[in-house]
Chains A and B, each alone.
Chain A
């Protein structure tokens, strides 16, 4: 009874609260490293207004946003380090045959060290690429969700816009006829608004023609050009997922390279050990003058 009373007396969290506490704790633990890793990464600054832009400009805007991020500069930095490392390895490998003995061994060692650095840098680069692609994928998915939500919310608005577009097109077709009709039938001078409207309309028509004929405007019109924003975002998502799959393969290639390098390093270690052993052997084969019998030859001449 006393035990029971003590048990009741203890501060025990209700199961639901306990679960919430555990889940929150786990979430914080999981979020911690992610937040830390994103501090120098890429946090897209693109707003949802990007969906208003013409379709082909979306990808360019995302690339521009990425280029301005710390992640892009980190990747460029690693790229230049990789280029330096590759040049170093190539020059050492090309001149390896010119050296002999210890110098040759040192060059070989430098090549192996260079390869190890190259693999390390390449691994870092792949991690950064993965971070970039995963962020890009999240961004495209978010934009696609927004576009879907807008599409369903704005169904009525689109219907109104379509009706207005149709009315505008119909009115546009009769504009010059109407102008002549107003001039002849009413026998009244054109209103100030009418004159300005005609002048601006002419300017708009010529500008629209220029836009339609602009090379950049025509570039994306192909047979498989996306029909709407959601379709384009889905296509962009697919491209990113394909790049992530390639990245997985690159990871595998890097794994094989690392394995090969470790075998090379083991072979090199064995070679060094063998050299050391042979040098010891030679030392052992050398005449030992520490006993008087070995030095007899110095004294006896035949």
Chain B
């Protein structure tokens, strides 16, 4: 039960912290990012399966982030949504910002939503 609550909270946090979907490159990026987060949180996957899926997702995500960063149409946009995506670089461009911070992408994302390793260990110990 607790596990389900944590999972729901994490998904909700992911949705809240993520930028809303925007047409084109940002929409594709957002879709792939949510797939990656779902792999990260999928309790039915074992460690090896998760790593494999995240590796595939990471490569696609890297390409989609590059596409979004080079999308000229976005520069002409006045949308506050686009502004929010780029202002929130750490959570929007996970692969690039993880490489910048020198952490793994899952760790970077979890810390981005306010969950450190010790927080997770504490949550487990409370169970």
Nearest 9 Cβ contacts at the A-B interface: A163-B86, A186-B55, A156-B78, A178-B99, A174-B99, A171-B96, A174-B100, A167-B86, A157-B78
Q: Contacts A166-B86, A167-B86, A174-B99; is A182 near B62 (CB within 8 Å)?
A: yes
Identify the stretch in B4-12, B38-46, B68-76 within 8 Å (CB) of chain A at 4 or more residues.
Answer: B68-76
B-chain residues with CB within 8 Å of residue A167 when the two chains form the complex = 69, 86, 89, 93
Q: Are the CB atoms of B89 and A170 closer together than 8 Å?
A: yes
Q: In the assembly, what is the distance between CA of A187 and CA of B59, in Å?
A: 10
Chain A: interface size category: 20 to 34
Contact of A160 among B56, B66, B67, B77 (CB under 8 A): B77
In chain B, residues 92-107, which have Cβ atoms closer than 8 Å to a Cβ of chain A? 93, 95-97, 99-100
Q: In the assembly, what is the distance between CA of A188 and CA of B61, in Å?
A: 14
Contact of B120 with A by CB under 8 A: no
Q: Are the CB atoms of B55 and A185 closer together than 8 Å?
A: yes
Contact of B59 among A157, A163, A188 (CB under 8 A): A188
Q: Are the CB atoms of B78 and A194 closer together than 8 Å?
A: no
Contact of A163 among B55, B65, B83 (CB under 8 A): B83
Contact of B125 with A by CB under 8 A: no
Q: Contacts A159-B83, A182-B62; is A164 near B69 (CB within 8 Å)?
A: yes
A161-191 interface bits toward B, Cβ cutoff 8 Å, 1 = contact, 0 = none = 1011011101101100110011001111001
The chain B residues found within 8 Å of chain A, CB to CB, are 55-56, 58-60, 62-63, 65-67, 69-70, 74-80, 82-83, 86-87, 89, 93, 95-97, 99-100
B-chain residues with CB within 8 Å of residue A168 when the two chains form the complex = 69-70
Can you give 8 A-B contacts (C-beta < 8 A)?
Answer: A160-B75, A160-B78, A171-B65, A171-B69, A185-B55, A185-B58, A186-B56, A194-B63
Q: In the assembly, what is the distance between CA of A272 and CA of B31, in Å?
A: 101
Q: In the assembly, what is the distance between CA of A208 and CA of B122, in Å?
A: 51
Q: In the assembly, what is the distance between CA of A182 and CA of B59, in Å?
A: 7
B-chain residues with CB within 8 Å of residue A160 when the two chains form the complex = 74-75, 77-79, 82-83, 86
B-chain residues with CB within 8 Å of residue A178 when the two chains form the complex = 62, 95-96, 99
B-chain residues with CB within 8 Å of residue A289 when the two chains form the complex = none
Q: In the assembly, what is the distance between CA of A194 and CA of B59, in Å?
A: 9
Q: Are the CB atoms of A188 and B55 closer together than 8 Å?
A: yes
Q: Are the CB atoms of A157 and B76 closer together than 8 Å?
A: yes
Contact of A193 with B by CB under 8 A: yes
A-chain residues with CB within 8 Å of residue B89 when the two chains form the complex = 166-167, 170
Q: In the assembly, what is the distance between CA of A182 and CA of B58, in Å?
A: 8
Seed contacts A181-B99, A186-B55; 17 additional CB < 8 Å A-B pairs: A157-B76, A160-B74, A160-B78, A160-B82, A160-B83, A164-B75, A166-B89, A167-B69, A167-B86, A168-B69, A171-B69, A173-B100, A178-B99, A186-B58, A188-B59, A191-B63, A193-B66
B-chain residues with CB within 8 Å of residue A173 when the two chains form the complex = 100
Q: In the assembly, what is the distance between CA of A187 and CA of B52, in Å?
A: 10
Contact of A197 with B by CB under 8 A: yes
A-chain residues with CB within 8 Å of residue B82 when the two chains form the complex = 160
Closest to A194 in B: B63
A-chain residues with CB within 8 Å of residue B56 when the two chains form the complex = 186, 188
Closest to B79 in A: A160
Closest to B55 in A: A186
Contact of B86 among A164, A174, A187, A191 (CB under 8 A): A164
A-chain residues with CB within 8 Å of residue B97 when the two chains form the complex = 170
A-chain residues with CB within 8 Å of residue B67 when the two chains form the complex = 193
Q: Contacts A160-B82, A173-B100, A186-B56; is A197 near B74 (CB within 8 Å)?
A: no
B-chain residues with CB within 8 Å of residue A171 when the two chains form the complex = 65-66, 69, 93, 96
Q: In the assembly, what is the distance between CA of A291 and CA of B83, in Å?
A: 118
In chain A, residues 183-238, which have Cβ atoms closer than 8 Å to a Cβ of chain B? 185-188, 191, 193-194, 197
A-chain residues with CB within 8 Å of residue B79 when the two chains form the complex = 160
A-chain residues with CB within 8 Å of residue B55 when the two chains form the complex = 185-188
